[in-house]
Structure formats: C-alpha cells, structure tokens
Structure 1
Amino acid sequence: MMRRDVHDKLRARLHEAAGAHEPDRERILARVERGMAEQARPDHRATRPPAYGWLRVVTATAAVAGVLAVGGYAVASAVKEDRPQQTVATSPTPEPPGAKGEKDGPLWSDGSVDPHSNDFWAQSNLRLHTSGQLTALTVRLRVAQTGGVTSTGAWRSLPEDDFTLTVGEKDGFLVYTWVLKEGRTVRAGEWVFAGQYDHERGGRDAKDDSYVMTATAGGEQLSVTGGFAAHDGNDPTPGGDS
C-alpha cells in the first residue's frame, strides 16, 4: 500500500507541473528568426527553398530572356542592314562605243564557257591581257536569258576591293558589270572575270552571250568586245593572229 501511495503522489505532482507550464513565446520566436537568418546566408544549402525564392528566380529569368530576345533582334537587324549588296539593279550604264573586236592596242580579250559547266549550271569566263598599266577599266558580261538563267555568283582574279560589282537583268540579258574604283589601277598581266549562273536543264547555247571591256592606258581610251564562239585556233593573246 505504501508503494502505491508513492506512485499516486508522484503522478499528481507531474500533472500539476504540466498544467502550470506555459510556452516561452519569446524563446520560440527567437529560434524561428535564427533559423530564417541561417537560410538567408549565401553558404546555406536549403533542400527546399521558400516559394517566394522560386518566384524571384522565375521573374529574373523571364526578364533576362526578354532582354536577350530584343538584343538579338537588334543585332540581327544591324547585320542585315550592313551586309553588302553584291547583286543590285542599277540604272543602265551607257554601252562603250568604238569596240574594235578582241584586240585594241595593248589589250587582248577572249570569252569562253568554263569546261566544268553542267546541265544545270554554267560559268562564263572572260580573259583580259594588258601589256601596260590600266588607270580605268569596265568589264561587262551579257548572258542571254535562254530560260531559268539566274545569277549564282561572280569572281575576278584581281583584288575584290578594287572593283564595284553590279548584277541585274536588262533587255533579256543577265548583266554582270565590274568597274575599277577611282584611284585604283590594273598592272600589266593576264586577268580573269567570271560570271556564274543556273539555267534550265540541258545543254545551253551561248551564241547570244557577249562581253565588252573599256579601259584607259597611258591616257588613251581602249575598248574590246567579243562572244563565246570557238576561235578556230586563232589566239587573241600576244603572238596570235587575231
């Protein structure tokens, strides 16, 4: 009986202590604030960041994406505007007068269809030989529109920056025009100008194609012209019987 009484008294005291206990609110709040401060530290690794943190990340990402999108469009537009227009339609340039054929003074010329041309694509080659320095030069290639003739490019063996190139259609011809820039010169030698183009499938007849070149050498105006027919062994270059 005595042992049971002891247990009853102990139980009663525990109930009294539990009933008299009040939570320390200030202490609890302090612990919560301390925990939040630890999460805010840069080196704190939280396994599940608060919802408002994710909202800030998403908002910032969207803003950056918007800036990049606008910036990319502006850059693309600038590049597009600054891109040189190699193929342009220009006002007609007067045809050079007085062309005497494939040879004129120090100038010799020749026109031929490149042997690597095929059933869908061709290249017209113009060969110019000069024995003296040229202070002015205009080269014009005329490719007859025989069906599906569309420019695919052009090149020359002289420096690209020395010439202005225009490509356009006029009177049923695809016309390539190279003009030597003011202040530039062409030294003595042999040079090539070439126009490239697609055409309808099948062999293309170049009988109506032509070229003309005008130049200035030693203060004298010179002009040569020709087509793309075979020369029958006559070489227009120095030493040939043109």
Structure 2
Amino acid sequence: MDDVRKQLRDAAAEHRPDRERMLARVERGMERDAAPGASSRGRPLRPAPWLRIAGATAAVAGVLALGGYAVASVVHGDEPPRTVGTPAAAEPPAATQPLAPDAKGVEDGFLWSDGSIDPKSNDFWAQSTLTFKTGNPLTALTVELRVAQTGGVADTGNWRSLPAGDFTVSVREAGGDLVYRWTLKAGRTVPAGKHVFAGQYNHAEGGRDAGDDTYAAEATASGRKAAVRGDFARTS
C-alpha cells in the first residue's frame, strides 16, 4: 500500500491538467449544438450560449478539483480530513505579573509560608521548596515561584504534596524569571495543615545564588482572603 501511495503521490506531483484543451472541447460541442438545424421541433430550448459556457467552465473546474481530491484522498489514506476555516480563538495569555504584589510578608491571618533551597541541590541542579501552613480549609489557592534567570536556568519538573488532579500547573518564562504557578481548580479544597510545593530546574555550573528568587500565594478560607510573599536566603 505504501508503494501505491508513493506512485500516486509522484503522479499527482507531475500531473498538470490541460485545462485550456478541455474548455476548447466543451466550447466546440456547444457550437455544434448551436449550429442551424441542430435543434428539432419539440426539443426543450437550450440556454443562451454564454450561460452554457459559464456553466461548462464551472463544470470543468469541478472535475479538476474532484480529480485532485480523489488522488489526495488515496495518497493520504486514513488520515482525518482537515477543516479550513476561521482558526480557533487563542487561549488567554498566562499571567505575567507577579502574584500578590501587595502582600506584606510571609504570614497573613490563617496562612503561613516559608521558602528554601533543597539540601540535595548541586552544582548543576536545584529544587526550590515552598512550605505553607493553614489553620483553615482553603476553597481557593494560587501559589507562585519565580526563579531568577541567573544563567542556564531551565525547568526539569515540579511537584506538590496535595493531589495533582486538584491543581492546574503552568511553567513559563516572564520578566527574566522561570515562573511556576499552581492554581487550585474550582470546586476543590485544601485541608487545614502543612502543604509543600516545589519547582526543579537545571542551572549553569557552580553554586547558584537564590537571593533574587521569590514566591507568593493567595488563599481564601471561609470567605476570608490571605496573601503572603517571601524570598530565599542569599548565598554569601
């Protein structure tokens, strides 16, 4: 079957339909029909020659298109048909502004936070770990980690201690940072207690200074909102 498809594809690429010759044949046939004595009494009246020529031109174009479609259909086999039309609306762009810019510190009401670099990080790879504690169940939660692009910083993964299916996760570059964001899905809740989020990434060889990295979180519990923001210890 692959050989047949290749032969058809090659033939389709080389084939150039002689459209002018086909039109000439159609027009000559019409001239014979329009010649004196060509019609007989009782035969239905034929449309005007110019109308027949226009119709014939459309018919020839349709035959050419149909022939090309048939060859393409055989060549492509079982591939699904493509639909040509207005493209789907683009997805809304991811937020690029830092989360909770007005947060006052690492603790706000029922929400407490901390940011640290995992001790297993090395000269080529690191993990930034965010720890949160909440005294109340959360009905909304968004967590953001911003890793400054200090050279060679590239995402290698992320995780959280809460169920993965409860969150929408995005990783992108924005404002010179590698940005991780976890957003609790509508209808899901976060129980009271301690929870961990982590972003993992490669970086340029050598000890990396995380002093320009930041994190933030916004949460809602029982209709009350809380926002926290923090950073990481700078390497001396």
TM class, shorter-chain normalised? 0.5 to 0.7
Contact 2:100 2:229 in 1 (8 A): no
Mapped to 2, the partners of 1:136 and 1:71 lie a distance apart of: 49
Mapped to 2, the partners of 1:137 and 1:73 lie a distance apart of: 43
Partner SS for 2:211: coil
CA distances 1:2-35 after superposition (whole Å, capped 9, x unpaired): xxxxxxxxxxxxxxxxxxxxxxxxxxxxxxxxxx
Of the three residues 223, 228, 231, the one matched with 1:224 is 228
Mapped to 1, the partners of 2:131 and 2:186 lie a distance apart of: 22
Which blocks of at least 5 consecutive residues in structure 1 are unaligned?
1-59, 64-69, 75-88, 231-242
How many Å apart are 1:91 and its aligned residue? 4.1
Mapping of residues 43-54 of structure 1, within 5 Å:
none
Residue type matched to 1:213 in 2?
A: A
Larger Rg: 1
- What number of residue pairs does the alignment pair up? 157
| Match of residue 175 from structure 1 | 179
Mapped to 1, the partners of 2:77 and 2:128 lie a distance apart of: 43
| Match of residue 190 from structure 1 | 194
How many Å apart are 1:100 and its aligned residue? 2.0
Partner SS for 1:185: coil
CA distances 1:154-190 after superposition (whole Å, capped 9, x unpaired): 1001000100000111111100000000111100010
Mapped to 1, the partners of 2:77 and 2:185 lie a distance apart of: 37
Distance 1:61 1:110, change over 3 A: closer
| Match of residue 95 from structure 1 | 99
Mapped to 2, the partners of 1:165 and 1:122 lie a distance apart of: 19
| Match of residue 108 from structure 1 | 112
| Match of residue 236 from structure 1 | none
Moved over 4 A (4+): 60-63, 70-74
Residue type matched to 1:119 in 2?
A: D
TM-score after normalising by structure 1: 0.58
How many Å apart are 1:229 and its aligned residue? 1.6
Matched, 1:147 2:151: yes
Distance 1:73 1:98, change over 3 A: same
Mapped to 1, the partners of 2:98 and 2:205 lie a distance apart of: 33
Mapped to 2, the partners of 1:112 and 1:193 lie a distance apart of: 11
Mapped to 2, the partners of 1:146 and 1:206 lie a distance apart of: 9
Distance 1:210 1:73, change over 3 A: farther
Which blocks of at least 5 consecutive residues in structure 2 are unaligned?
5-75, 81-92
